[in-house]
């Protein structure tokens, strides 16, 4: 039985991961004032970052409608779909709606939509897990069971170097944001079991924040020898490599992979941002 993995574009992928597991993507889009960006392979990320920096307005993101998902579903007999947390985006709802539309026209096709309860490299790690389960030759029911268990146990952590988008979006007051920026306060954020984002800790300066981030991995993680640590970065490869090195010293992950943020994750993480999932 052949299986297809489909993701939305908040799933940050390397060329190697995409090709190994034959992953297809339904793109989200980003609007900043009169600039429109489609989060696909043609996205100019540096232009996106520059436009965000130069604008007083928060970026507006839009999920794929049911159409792009439905087009991909039609091409395959069995599809596993991973989306952004449904608490953060309409991507999940649209993927499910596309499934319902597909059932009306082709009852023999199978689609399972997974709510990642995460974003960015959290989606990547779920796609990677699904790919490994498919490679292992497991039956459909067993793949779903193991993937659901993985999602339930997965942790997502973030460190933001820039608070600009939080302030512009009204998620952090301007005065509070200016004070935090003045004192170089960096928030350490975590995904919740419900798929939202919460403040886990904070530190003064990037280096301290990264050290706290690495410590949080040990506090939250269990059975790390069976897991892969995923690290997504937005123009912060040096930080990502440092985290990889320190995590390899402290913890016994099965593997550690680094990916660059694509468009939507770049909006969330902003310049210098780091996202971990395991």
Q: pLDDT tens digits, the chain, 278 residues: what are they?
A: 899 999 999 999 999 999 999 999 999 999 999 999 999 999 999 999 999 999 988 899 999 999 999 999 999 999 999 999 999 999 999 999 999 999 998 889 999 999 999 999 999 999 999 999 999 999 999 999 999 999 999 999 999 888 777 667 665 555 555 555 656 888 898 999 999 888 889 899 999 999 999 999 999 878 899 999 999 999 999 999 999 999 999 999 999 999 999 999 999 899 999 999 99
By the 10 Å C-beta count (0-12 exposed, 13-18 middle, 19+ buried), 272 is classed as middle
- CB neighbours of 163 closer than 8 A, spacing ≥ 6? 172, 177, 180, 181, 187
- Alpha carbon of 219 to those of 212, 224, 257: distances in Å? 10, 11, 20
Asked if CATH classification 3.30.1180.10 holds for the domain at 156-277, the reply, yes or no, is yes
Query: HSE (CB half, 13 Å, CA atoms) of 12?
Result: 28
- Alpha carbon of 20 to those of 74, 158, 177, 220, 222: distances in Å? 22, 27, 42, 29, 27
In 3D space, the residue among 270, 232, 190, 201 whose CA is nearest the CA of residue 243 turns out to be 232
| 31/175 Cα distance (integer angstroms) | 26
Domains 4-28+63-153 and 156-277 are alike in CATH topology: no
Share in percent of the chain as helix, strand, coil (round to 5):
45, 25, 30
Q: Could you tell me if residue 235 is left (phi over 0), alpha (psi between -120 and 50 degrees) or otherwise beta?
A: left
Instruction: Give the right CATH number for 4-28+63-153 from 3.40.50.10440, 3.40.50.150, 1.20.1050.10, 3.40.630.30.
Output: 3.40.50.10440
In 3D space, the residue among 64, 87, 92, 72 whose CA is nearest the CA of residue 22 turns out to be 72
Crossing angle for the helix pair 206-220 and 237-250, nearest 10 degrees? 40
Report CA 139 to chain centroid distance, whole Å. 26
* Structure tokens belonging to residue 213: 């981030």
Instruction: With beta carbons less than 8 A apart as the criterion, state whether 267 and 61 touch.
Output: yes
| 41/39 Cα distance (integer angstroms) | 7
Tell me what pLDDT residue 174 has. 57
> What are the structural domain ranges in the chain?
4-28+63-153, 156-277
């Amino acid at each position: 039985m052949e299986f297809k993995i489909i993701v939305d574009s908040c799933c940050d992928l390397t060329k190697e991961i995409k090709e190994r597991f034959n992953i297809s993507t339904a793109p989200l889009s980003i609007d900043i004032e009169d600039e429109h960006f489609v989060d696909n392979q043609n996205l100019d990320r540096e232009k996106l970052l520059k436009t965000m920096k130069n604008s007083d307005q928060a970026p507006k993101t839009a999920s794929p409608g049911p159409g792009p998902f439905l087009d991909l579903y039609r091409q395959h007999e069995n599809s596993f779909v991973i989306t952004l947390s449904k608490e953060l985006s309409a991507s999940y709802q649209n993927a499910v709606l596309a499934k319902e539309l597909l059932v009306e026209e082709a009852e023999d096709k199978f689609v399972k939509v997974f709510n990642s309860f995460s974003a960015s490299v959290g989606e990547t790690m779920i796609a990677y897990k699904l790919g490994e389960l498919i490679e292992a030759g497991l039956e459909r029911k067993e793949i779903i069971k193991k993937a659901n268990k993985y999602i339930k146990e997965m942790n997502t952590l973030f460190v933001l170097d820039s608070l600009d988008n939080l302030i512009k979006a009204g998620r952090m007051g301007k005065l509070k944001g200016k004070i935090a920026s003045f004192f170089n306060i960096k928030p350490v954020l975590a995904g919740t079991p419900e798929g939202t984002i919460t403040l886990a800790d904070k530190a003064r300066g990037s280096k301290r924040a990264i050290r706290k981030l690495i410590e949080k991995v040990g506090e939250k993680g269990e059975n790390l020898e069976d897991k892969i640590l995923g690290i997504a970065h937005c123009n912060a490869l040096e930080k990502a490599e440092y985290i990889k090195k320190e995590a390899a010293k402290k913890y016994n992950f099965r593997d550690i992979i680094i990916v660059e943020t694509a468009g939507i994750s770049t909006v969330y993480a902003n310049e210098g941002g780091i996202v971990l999932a395991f």
